[in-house]
Each structure stands twice: as structure tokens, then as C-alpha cells.
Amino acid sequence: MTRHYGVRDLMRLFLVILAVSMSMACTGSANNTTPPSNLNSNTNKGATVPTYSFKIVNTYPHDTSAYTQGLVLHNGFFYEGTGGRRSDTFHSSLRKVDLQTGKVLQKFDLAGEYFGEGISILNDKIYQLTWQENKAFVYDVNDFKLIRELSYSTEGWGLTNDGTNLIMSDGSHLLRFMNPETFAEVRSIPVIDEKGRPVVRLNELEFVKGEIWANVYTTGWIVRIDPATGKLLGRIDLNEFAEDQMDATPNADVLNGIAYDAASDKIFITGKRWKQLFEITVEPKK
């Protein structure tokens, strides 16, 4: 089945391929089942990073027009950041969504020149990145009123927080810890695999029980990262499942979206323009 990648996605892929060919020429091809940095730990003799499988616990409706860039569960509602520009068939927005029905309860559309990216909620504020525009928008969580804009020098991909700092990805192997008031970089960590190689294409992020979880863009992998060292703690294999979701829905795109509810200890995933959102449990792969 032909995949539906926009201009932005093709540009990302070109930049990623160029970066991978320069820094990791020995890693082989990058496809959904054997992504860069040897994400399939089962192929590494003596590997210490475990691979996990998953089970679906519940299924919920998801808006197939939502090109999901960021996903958060907060006080029983989903908050979703979507991507796209005025010239695209989809456009960037910030949404509050009912969990059970998938109905959009509240929505803020970004100006057409902005391509929305990851979101995070910290101290009753929603932070939303943009892809290449070097701006983050800060909203009041209650009424989506724009509070201020913040600047940064890199691309914006995924965003989460550890309760103190925002944590940001830019498509490389680096995760940056940012001051939420000034967006100044506090520190950064390189994410590396068990062979010491960079794990690139880190995209949508979520902070889960003291770990950073990241979608690896264009794949069905979620990696679990130590926020202190950047070392991998595990890999969750959703490759076959993600392919099935893309095949099942016209215009559906890659896995992208992780949300964790600490109050109920529940994990949710979805993808770009997927018709469903899934609550899952994670367990060691047999």
C-alpha cells in the first residue's frame, strides 16, 4: 500500500537519511521492521536492552483528520496537537478531546504558516512546539488563551516534561531539557543504544514512571530512555500493529502519539490520522 507522506515528511526523511548515512553508515537500511541504531535488540548477541510486546486493553475513536503530533491525557481528557500548514489538506491545531467519544470539545487553530508539533502540560499551561518556525506557544489549559510565545534554535518535534523542565526532541539523537519559563536549555542528553550508537528520529515523547518514552519516527518502535544517562531501557515493538492500522484506514500515517495517565496508571497510543486510539499494557516480549 502506498504511504501518504506530505512535503514535510519527505523533507524529514531526506534529512534523516543524510544524517544517518554520515554518522551511522554501518547500521544498514532504515525500514519499519529494522530501523536505524539496530532497534531490534533480539539481533544483538548478548544484548541487555529488553524488547517488549503489548496488549490492547481498550479501544476509543480517533479523528481521522488529526495529523497527530502530540498527545497528553490530563484530568480525564485528551489534549492533542496536530500538524499541517494552510496549503495542506490538514492544518495545525490544539484540541481538547473527549476520551470515550473522540469528540473535539475545544479547539485552537494555529496561523497557517505554523506547523504544529509536540505538546506538554505543566503547571496548568499547555506548551506546543512548531516544526521549523522556532517558536513554542504557551496556552492556558482551561480556555486555550495564548499566554506567550517562546523561541528556540532547533527544529521542534516531540515534547514532554518531568514535572520541572520541559523535554524536547528535534529529530536527532539528542533530548533537550528546557526551562519552561524562558525556554533556555538546562541540559541535554544523547540517546544511545547498547552498542553506543545514537538512536535518531526521536519524535513524540511521554514521561512514564521516571522514564522518557519516544516514538521513533517512520517506525513502529517506542524506545524507553533513562532521563539521567540517555541509555535505552527497553524497546516496545508495535511494527506489525502500526502497519495494520495504516493499511486499515485511507490516508493513515505512522505511529505517533503516547499518553500516560499517572492517576490510573494507563498508557495510550495512536497514530497520524488513525481512526482509533488504544489503551495498552506492556510486557516483556516472549
Handedness of CA 15, 155, 5, 3 (dihedral sign): positive
176, 170 Cβ separation under 8 angstroms? yes
Instruction: Provide the whole-model pTM.
Output: 0.85
| Per-position pLDDT tens, the chain of length 286 | 334 445 445 445 444 444 444 333 333 333 333 344 444 444 444 358 999 999 999 999 999 999 999 999 999 999 999 999 877 777 899 999 999 999 999 999 999 999 999 999 999 999 999 999 999 999 999 999 999 999 999 999 999 999 999 999 999 999 999 999 999 999 999 999 999 999 999 999 999 999 999 999 999 999 999 999 999 999 999 999 999 999 999 999 999 999 999 999 999 999 999 999 999 999 998 7
Determine the Cα–Cα distance for residues 189 and 194; give it in Å rounded to an integer.
15
Please state which CATH number belongs to domain 7-284: 2.40.128.630
Q: C-alpha grid cell for residue 208? A: 512514564
> Among 221, 200, 203, which residue's Cα sits nearest to residue 282?
221
Strands 185-190 and 266-271, how do they pair?
unpaired
> Among 265, 277, 187, 254, which residue's Cα sits nearest to residue 31?
254
